[in-house]
Homo-oligomer: A and B are copies of this chain.
Amino acid sequence: MAPTPYLELRERTKARDRSLRDKRMSLEEAAALIADGEHVALGGCTASRTPFAMIWALVRAGRRDLKVSRSIVSTEGDILYASGVSRHIMTSWFSQGIVWGVSKVMRAHVESGRATLEEWSHMAMGLRYRAGAMGAPFMPMRAMLGSGVLGRVEGAKPMECPFTGEPLLLVPALNPDVALIHVQRCDAYGNAQIDGLSFMDVDIAMAANRVIMTTERIVSNDQIRRAPDQTKIGFFTVDAVVEAPFGCAPHECYGVYEPFFPHMDAYAAATGKDPEKGVAEYLDRFYHEPKDWNGYLERIGVGDMLDAARRGRTIHAD
């Protein structure tokens, strides 16, 4: 049988060690599992459960030309473009967030042609990951038709439904090389329990060829097995587990901390005034100068950490 995309996907999966084993490692060790040029999907959405600790590690490791995909991109997209980690981001929306407006850093990179922003509809992103998660080559959908968005992407195919004759759009499966996902807790094997909004993370983990999981805390496998219906991502999909408290800072982690609003305001102000200089200084100060991840958090500041955590806990306070 000649190798088809499906058989190649199966071979990559088969070659992985999918057994129940301890996968704990450092951010730096996990970053070494990713090669320049690979397709990296990010879990979370906008300013929520963004895998910032791993992005930080990738910047530090000097990784280059990753193709990055995510449901919706916030400030991590600025960091990826400005650091050179990625010059190609695939998403449905790229902005620091409604309250801060369009990203001037994104505009500088995209409008100058230095970087690509590949735009699909939100549901199309979701269904592309879902097709990848299901081992299906595509998903049928009923949006994007008739729009300019469809005209600017490659790989989506309009079709006439063979059952009903209705027009449909088939969007192709995405099977990222690596998924970076941050969760509230998982065990050393990678069994992850996600509280609150799960975004596209479950599909992304299943679609990817490798998963690097960062977590607020590592819990025992016994704890996981007391509530197996809470496990959202199974150990067999996971290749690395890194404990990274405040691993989404300055974004939020549901139930643990809200976004670091003062930090986000300051970032918006700095990059709004001068995008290139603002983000370069930010990269130096928060990415290159600290000696480790705790050093990054120190620069963000204990006051902001405690403030974000206090607000984060209120979801449970009713």
Contact = CB atoms under 8 A, between A and B. Distances in A.
A174 B147 CA distance: 29
A136 B168 CA distance: 9
A168 B137 CA distance: 9
A6 B164 CA distance: 8
A260 to B, nearest CB: 23
Interface residues of A, number: 30
A228 to B, nearest CB: 8
A196 B138 contact: no
Interface in A140-167: 140-142, 155, 157, 159, 161-166
Given A138-B140, A229-B195, A4 B163 contact: no
A254 to B, nearest CB: 9
* Copies of this chain in the oligomer: 2
Contacts of A135: 142
Contacts of A137: 140, 161, 163-164, 166, 168
A5 interface: yes
Given A141-B136, A229-B195, A172 B165 contact: no
B318 A6 contact: no
Interface string A197-231: 11000000000000000000000000000100100
A161 B155 CA distance: 13
Interface of A: 4-6, 135-142, 155, 157, 159, 161-166, 168, 170, 172, 195-198, 226, 229, 318
